[in-house]
Amino acid sequence: MISYVKGILAEKAKDRIVVESGMMGIGIFVPMSVLEVLPPLGEEVKIYTHLQVREDDMSLYGFLSRSDLEMFRQLLGVNGIGPKGALGILSALRPEDLRLAVMTGDAKAISRAPGVGAKTAQRIILDLKDKVQAEDLLTPLLDGSAAVSPAAENGLSGNAVKEAVEALVALGYTNAEAVKAVKSANVTEEMDSEAVLKASLKYLAFL
C-alpha cells in the first residue's frame, strides 16, 4: 500500500496532479479543495494517498492530511458511492464542511455536490453520523493546516479555540453548534479564549 507520496509538484490539472518522486511522475487524483491550496509547481508536496485497485484500473487518490483521507475512505463505505463520486463530493464540499454537514444533518448542503440527490445525501448522513466527531472538525483550526476560516488563516491559538468550544458546550450548545460558531466567528490571533467565546456567542445570537 502507498501511504503517501512526497516529491516535487510537477503538474496540476482539473482533477489530478503529478508528483515527481524517485525518478517517476506519479499521477494522483485530487479534489478541488486540494488543488486550491497546493504550492506552485516546482515546490515539494506530501500527499496522503488511497490506492484503488480494480480489474482494469489502478488509481491513486490524494489529500493533504490523514484526516481528510479518512473522510474520503468513509465516503467509500457508503453504499452507492465510488471513488469518483467521493472525489466529486469533496470538491463541492471541503472535508471539514462535509463533516459539519453530517453532524448537523444538513442534507441540502451535501446534495449540492454533482450527482448527489436528496436520498444519497440522507444516506451519507445516516452512515457517517456516528463516525464523525467534533474533534475532527476542530483539527484544521488547532493545527492551522487548512484555510477554513479567519481563525485558521490568522493562526489562532489552538488552546483558545478548544477552550471556547468547551465553554459553549458547557452552556448547553451541542458539539456541532459550538464548532460551527467558533469556525464562523470573525476572530483573530490576538484573541484569547474569552474573546473567542464572546465572538462565537455574538455569531450565535444572530442565527
Whichever domain contains 45, its CATH number is 2.40.50.140
pLDDT digit string, tens, across residues 155-181:
445 677 778 878 888 888 877 778 778
Neighbours of 207 (CB within 10 A): 8
Give percent above pLDDT 70 in the chain: 86
One domain, residues 37 and 81: no
List CB contacts of 157: < 8 A, sequence separation 6 or more: 189, 192
Most trustworthy range by pLDDT among 52-56, 69-73, 128-132, 164-168 = 69-73
Is there a single domain that holds both residue 139 and residue 199? Answer: yes
Same domain, 119 and 160: no
Percentage above 90 pLDDT, the chain: 40
End-to-end CA distance of the chain: 46
Q: What range does the domain containing 120 cover?
A: 66-128
The CB density around residue 29, as the number of other CB atoms within 10 Å, is 19
What is the pTM assigned to this prediction? Answer: 0.69
Residue where a domain stops, chosen among 63, 80, 102: 63
Last residue of a domain, one of 76, 97, 128: 128
pLDDT digits (tens, 9 = 90+) for 17-49: 999 998 899 999 999 989 989 999 999 999 999
Mean pLDDT of 2-12: 94
